[in-house]
Chains A and B, each alone.
Chain A
């Protein structure tokens, strides 16, 4: 069986997505149609602009099927492995950034919301989450774990704290603005 070119698959995916967008998502998740009558006047409804976006995507999908092309770009298995790993590092780091501070505070029997502008509590989430992000990404790219990666992560986290938190009273590092 002949393998479907990636660009054709992308085109078909765009067509399906555009049709789902235009005929399912937009009608079910928008309050007004293309045009509404309000106080005796016709006005543009909320569905029109997203349908224009769906039209762009649909046209792109159709063009991808017929456009003459030089090469058939697509993500390889290596690309997927890389972005999968980076996504895991990112998700874990952001979760740590969000929850490490409140978790530490709860261990100490405190409420984090009241401590979010107090050192060292306010640095726990950013330090652990940000440090993890840098350390994991460096180690993954270098394909080995080194002390150097750890020092770079620590230095970067301290540097960013010095850059943002020390000079500005009204600036909050993540996640202290919305906990």
Chain B
């Protein structure tokens, strides 16, 4: 067998996407299942993003069990399933701007800032132009972020593998948890509480002893809490309850939604692009930098991108141009480029370190764990001369991202602009249906009614967390990383001959632990606004 180099792996990854099992043939050209699934994911993502009350997370939660039922548990399933999820992730970011611009209703929380200039533009008859600007900015930011991911993730992984041993990896995981706890939400204490609850939940019924710990001797807890039930419960069902409650409080809004008719030139000219490019560039860098930090959400990126754009606009705008907040297309560009460029960079920690940075990454990890054959983390990027199938999958994933971006550039915008009607679906009907669909999907994956009970219970926990302004994201990430922290700590402890201070012996791990405490205590110093 010939030795494999980096370029060979990249080429094998591309081939795995385009020359995988054939879905159908178009004019004599074979279209692979992975390509088809990326396209389906993108379309679904745009639809759910454009539907207020839904979003990429709900779509991923519902579709994952269906995809696993279709594709099974072989390693051939990895690229179609994960490609679909990547498509959903990218599509929902783009789709969220549709109701924000047309109806002043952000489809996703990230799109809130888009309403500030998008809706005034729509009201003044420039709805189609606003949608085009939003699409162009969003896809440009996303593409930039993906390029940074593709370049950075392998190098970061190689550095981690070269310099970090078991104690350092344990310390890095602890640092990640404390960082996520500190930066997500308005309070570090609440982040830490969320993280602690996630850790506690994952340790119930697990361990190495014959007796399943913390199970009260009950059969239901002795196998541990199913990861999908806990994550979907806290993240999806809790959010459905909170949204239903908002509707309950509002009772029902009646009356038709007014939409202004398009007037004047709706085309996106090169002059428009030249005008918004400086805003897109700034916001793409801001979003990518913020996205590379695990746990920091796209809403923060959108806020900073918008604020930076507003300062730049105040200095450089021509007389007569609208201000930010009064229908400035630059405001849409700054917001959309910032929140979209978070999504690619958010995958840097998950692919290079195995640490999920956002909810989309959580579902990619769930897919990888459910199917098997791919364990996101530094070990993936081993450029061995013998074939490393995980590395081929990693480059296959990068290829699916580029493919999703190409589809987004070409057909995504047209499709996005045709979805204005989705906002009219009454949420009070949609959300209970989505709840039942989520529970049914969960059952299909777990085949146990106790998983439904767990998910419902964790949904109530997620609801209460929201009411106490506790972000559920640290809970989820604590739940996912808890097992790995324990396993790595066990191995590190054994490898150091049972040294109780193994986390403090090497300078790197001691520095990580010190940073973990510093991050928490520094974040105590001043209250901050909600960041996710």
Q: Identify the A interface with B (CB < 8 A).
A: 6, 10-11, 14, 18, 21, 25-26, 29-32, 35, 41-50, 52-57, 59-61, 63-64, 66-71, 73-75, 78-79, 82-83, 86-87, 90-91, 94, 97-98, 126, 130, 133-134, 137-138, 140-143, 148-149, 152-153, 156-157, 160, 163-164, 168, 170-175, 177-178
Q: Which residues of B contact A160 (CB under 8 A)?
A: 436-437, 440
Residue ID in chain A nearest B194 by CB atoms: A60
- A21, A42, A87, A90: residue with the most chain B Cβ atoms closer than 10 Å: A90
- A25, A56, A82: residue with the most chain B Cβ atoms closer than 10 Å: A56
Whether the pair B449, A98 counts as a contact (CB closer than 8 A) is: yes
**Interface check B456, CB cutoff 8 A:** yes
Annotate B206-234 by CB proximity to A: 1 below 8 A, 0 otherwise: 01111101111000000000000000000
Whether the pair B203, A63 counts as a contact (CB closer than 8 A) is: no
The secondary structure that dominates the A interface is: helix
**Interface check B40, CB cutoff 8 A:** no
Q: Looking at the complex, which one of A57, A157, A170 makes contact with B193 (CB distance below 8 Å)?
A: A57
Q: Could you tell me the distance between the alpha carbons of A173 and B448 in the complex, rounded to whole angstroms?
A: 10
Q: Looking at the complex, which one of B199, B435, B468 makes contact with A75 (CB distance below 8 Å)?
A: B468
Whether the pair A174, B241 counts as a contact (CB closer than 8 A) is: no
Q: Looking at the complex, which one of A61, A70, A78 makes contact with B249 (CB distance below 8 Å)?
A: A78
B12-20, B346-354, B426-434 - interface stretch: B426-434
Q: Could you tell me the distance between the alpha carbons of A50 and B208 in the complex, rounded to whole angstroms?
A: 13
Whether the pair A63, B493 counts as a contact (CB closer than 8 A) is: no
Q: Could you tell me the distance between the alpha carbons of A174 and B439 in the complex, rounded to whole angstroms?
A: 9
Q: A43-B490, A49-B486, A164-B440 are in contact. Are A35 and B500 (CB under 8 A)?
A: yes
Q: Which residues of B contact A44 (CB under 8 A)?
A: 486, 489-490, 493-494
A28 to chain B, nearest CB (A): 10
Q: A60-B190, A63-B188 are in contact. Are A90 and B209 (CB under 8 A)?
A: no
Q: For chains A and B in complex, what number of residue pairs have CB atoms within 8 angstroms?
A: 225
Whether the pair A156, B433 counts as a contact (CB closer than 8 A) is: yes
Q: Could you tell me the distance between the alpha carbons of A63 and B524 in the complex, rounded to whole angstroms?
A: 8
Whether the pair B197, A70 counts as a contact (CB closer than 8 A) is: no
Whether the pair B69, A49 counts as a contact (CB closer than 8 A) is: no
Q: Could you tell me the distance between the alpha carbons of A87 and B462 in the complex, rounded to whole angstroms?
A: 13
Q: Could you tell me the distance between the alpha carbons of A172 and B443 in the complex, rounded to whole angstroms?
A: 8
Q: Which residues of A contact B463 (CB under 8 A)?
A: 83
Whether the pair A46, B207 counts as a contact (CB closer than 8 A) is: yes
B residues 251-268 near A (Cβ < 8 Å) are 251-252
Selected A-B contacts with CB under 8 Å, 16 pairs? A31-B209, A50-B200, A50-B214, A53-B196, A57-B200, A60-B190, A60-B196, A63-B188, A63-B189, A66-B524, A67-B187, A70-B527, A94-B449, A94-B452, A141-B247, A177-B448
**Interface check B421, CB cutoff 8 A:** no
Q: Identify the B interface with A (CB < 8 A).
A: 66, 69-70, 181, 186-190, 192-193, 195-197, 199-200, 203, 207-211, 213-216, 241, 244-245, 247-249, 251-252, 428-429, 431-433, 435-437, 439-440, 443-444, 447-450, 452-453, 456, 460, 463-464, 467-469, 478, 482, 485-486, 489-490, 493-494, 497-498, 500, 520, 524, 526-527, 529
The secondary structure that dominates the B interface is: helix
Q: Looking at the complex, which one of B192, B207, B498 makes contact with A63 (CB distance below 8 Å)?
A: B192
Whether the pair A68, B440 counts as a contact (CB closer than 8 A) is: no
Q: Could you tell me the distance between the alpha carbons of A138 and B244 in the complex, rounded to whole angstroms?
A: 9
Q: Could you tell me the distance between the alpha carbons of A94 and B459 in the complex, rounded to whole angstroms?
A: 14
A133 to chain B, nearest CB (A): 6
Q: Could you tell me the distance between the alpha carbons of A52 and B188 in the complex, rounded to whole angstroms?
A: 17
Supplied contacts A53-B199, A137-B244, A160-B436, 17 more A-B pairs, CB within 8 Å = A30-B209, A42-B493, A42-B498, A45-B209, A46-B213, A56-B196, A57-B193, A63-B520, A74-B468, A75-B468, A82-B244, A141-B432, A156-B432, A160-B437, A171-B69, A174-B439, A178-B448
Q: Which residues of A contact B208 (CB under 8 A)?
A: 46
Whether the pair B490, A164 counts as a contact (CB closer than 8 A) is: no
Whether the pair B429, A56 counts as a contact (CB closer than 8 A) is: no
Q: A52-B199, A59-B192 are in contact. Are A142 and B252 (CB under 8 A)?
A: yes
Whether the pair B526, A32 counts as a contact (CB closer than 8 A) is: no
Q: Could you tell me the distance between the alpha carbons of A133 and B429 in the complex, rounded to whole angstroms?
A: 12
Whether the pair B69, A82 counts as a contact (CB closer than 8 A) is: no
A94 to chain B, nearest CB (A): 6
B1 to chain A, nearest CB (A): 37
Residue ID in chain A nearest B429 by CB atoms: A152
Whether the pair B433, A134 counts as a contact (CB closer than 8 A) is: yes
Q: Looking at the complex, which one of B66, B428, B486, B500 makes contact with A163 (CB distance below 8 Å)?
A: B66
Residue ID in chain A nearest B210 by CB atoms: A31
Q: Could you tell me the distance between the alpha carbons of A67 and B494 in the complex, rounded to whole angstroms?
A: 38
A72 to chain B, nearest CB (A): 9
Q: Which residues of A contact B207 (CB under 8 A)?
A: 30-31, 46, 49
Q: A44-B489, A44-B493, A134-B436 are in contact. Are A56 and B449 (CB under 8 A)?
A: no
Whether the pair A141, B248 counts as a contact (CB closer than 8 A) is: yes
A79 to chain B, nearest CB (A): 5
Q: Could you tell me the distance between the alpha carbons of A174 and B211 in the complex, rounded to whole angstroms?
A: 30
Q: Which residues of B contact A56 (CB under 8 A)?
A: 181, 192-193, 195-196, 199, 478
Q: Which residues of B contact A21 (CB under 8 A)?
A: 200
Whether the pair B526, A178 counts as a contact (CB closer than 8 A) is: no
Q: Which residues of B contact A18 (CB under 8 A)?
A: 196
Q: Could you tell me the distance between the alpha carbons of A103 and B188 in the complex, rounded to whole angstroms?
A: 50
